[in-house]
């Protein structure tokens, strides 16, 4: 395949996507000089980036470059790994997420996460969605819970498909439906930021398209950060793209510029398919 034509396809997709977010919004997630270590091995080197409110930012890069690690820093999921150590400044709305006064459980409600392989709880569809609000005290009674379940499923474009079988197990749905269920589960606790770690890599193209449409809709209310292996996907859904390589944030910028006119040679090489 011709390298330059591949790149220009991407550029076309990116430009098509760029339009609506030309107005700069406030910084939702501010990251400064983050270093992450797994035991003695360093995985991220001095990463700094600003994520703007109500945009879709995508992290791209070859395997093992640290993009998933960095994503997991934002909701402190790396805390669950014993040997992981995170240094640096990460702020959401100017609040330091590593502040001892900040409850990490609250953080994880405000910053939701969707994983690569859909992982609904082995409970009913209803219980999957209702669990989060229940433990955070967001729903006092059944009526409120029912409301939250319905609105989350609607926002995740899943309501019509499952409204008649809410008591069936969540694991009985198809892959794409399960992933939308996980998105609904994240939405149910009223997050401000949604992190998605390669959400479509386990799905077929039709399901992928549905999720990408969903991301475009969700962008109006949530800040979304998506890690993806597919540059086409990054070009389709995101307004800002960040390119990682070997633990370093090489370049970040508006998606259409990244794919038409990257500043760094490494970015150019990756986009044109010379490696990764």
Partner 1 sequence: MAETTVDSTRNADGTVNWSSDAAKRSRRRRYGADTRLKIYGLTAIIIAVGVLGILLATLIIDGRTAFVQTRVTVDIFVDPELVDPENIERGNFRQIVLDSIASKYPELEDPADVRTARNILTNNAHFMVRDEVVANPSLIGQTFEIVIPASDPFDQLNKGVIDRDLPEDRRRVNDFEIALFDELVEQGRISTPLNWGLITNSDSRFPELAGLRGAIVGSFYLLLVTFLISFPVGIAAAVYLEEFAPKNRWTGLIEVNINNLAAVPSIVFGLLGLAVFINFIGLPRSAPLVGGMVLSLMTLPTMIIVTRAALKQVPPSIREGGYGVGASKHQVVMHHVLPLAIPGILTGTIIGLAQALGETAPLLLIGMNAFVPGDPGGLTDASTALPTQIFIWADSPERGFVAKTSAGILVLLGFLITMNAVAIYLRRRLERTW
Q: How many residues bind partner 1 (CB under 8 A)?
A: 26
Is the torsion defined by CA of 262, 267, 271, 272 positive or negative?
A: positive
- Identify the H or E element spanning 134: helix 125-136
* 214 is an interface residue for partner 1 by CB under 8 A: no
Q: How far is the CB of 197 from partner 1 (least distance, A)?
A: 10
- Quick check: 108 binds partner 1 (CB under 8 A)? yes
Q: Using CA atoms, how far apart are residues 183 and 25, in angstroms rounded to an integer?
A: 24
Q: Does 182 bind partner 1 (CB under 8 A)?
A: yes
- Give min distance, CB of 137 to partner 1, in A: 11
With a CB cutoff of 8 Å and minimum separation 6, the contacts of 195 are 71, 72, 74, 75, 111, 112, 113, 114, 224, 225, 226
**Nearest 5°: CA angle at 140, between 157 and 123?**
50
The structure tokens 């996907």 sit at 233
In the set 8, 87, 135, 232, which binds partner 1 (CB under 8 A)?
Answer: 135
Least distance from partner 1 to the Cβ atom of residue 209, Å? 24
Rule CB under 8 A: say whether 186 interacts with partner 1: yes
109, 149, 196, 218: which one binds partner 1 (CB under 8 A):
109
Interacting residues toward partner 1 by CB under 8 A: 75, 77, 80, 82, 105-109, 112-115, 117, 119-122, 131-132, 135-136, 182, 185-186, 189
């Amino acid at each position: 395949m011709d390298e330059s034509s591949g790149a220009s396809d991407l550029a076309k997709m990116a430009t098509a996507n760029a339009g609506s977010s030309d107005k700069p919004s406030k910084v939702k997630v501010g990251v400064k000089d983050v270093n992450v270590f797994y035991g003695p091995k360093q995985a991220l080197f001095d990463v700094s980036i600003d994520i703007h409110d109500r945009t879709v930012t995508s992290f791209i890069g070859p395997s093992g470059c640290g993009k998933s690690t960095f994503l997991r820093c934002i909701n402190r999921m790396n805390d669950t790994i014993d040997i992981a150590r995170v240094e640096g400044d990460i702020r959401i709305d100017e609040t330091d997420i590593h502040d001892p006064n900040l409850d990490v459980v609250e953080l994880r409600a405000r910053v939701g996460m969707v994983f690569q392989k859909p992982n609904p709880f082995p409970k009913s569809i209803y219980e999957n969605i209702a669990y989060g609000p229940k433990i955070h005290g967001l729903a006092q009674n059944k009526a409120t819970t029912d409301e939250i379940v319905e609105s989350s499923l609607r926002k995740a474009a899943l309501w019509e498909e499952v409204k008649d079988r809410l008591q069936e197990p969540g694991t009985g749905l198809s892959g794409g439906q399960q992933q939308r269920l996980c998105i609904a589960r994240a939405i149910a606790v009223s997050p401000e930021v949604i992190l998605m770690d390669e959400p479509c890599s386990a799905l077929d193209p039709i399901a992928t398209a549905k999720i990408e449409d969903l991301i475009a809709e969700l962008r109006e209310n949530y800040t979304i950060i998506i890690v993806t292996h597919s540059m086409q996907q990054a070009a389709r859904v995101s307004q800002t793209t960040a390119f990682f390589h070997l633990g370093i944030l090489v370049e970040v910028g508006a998606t259409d510029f990244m794919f038409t006119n990257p500043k760094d040679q490494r970015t150019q090489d990756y986009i044109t398919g010379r490696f990764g």
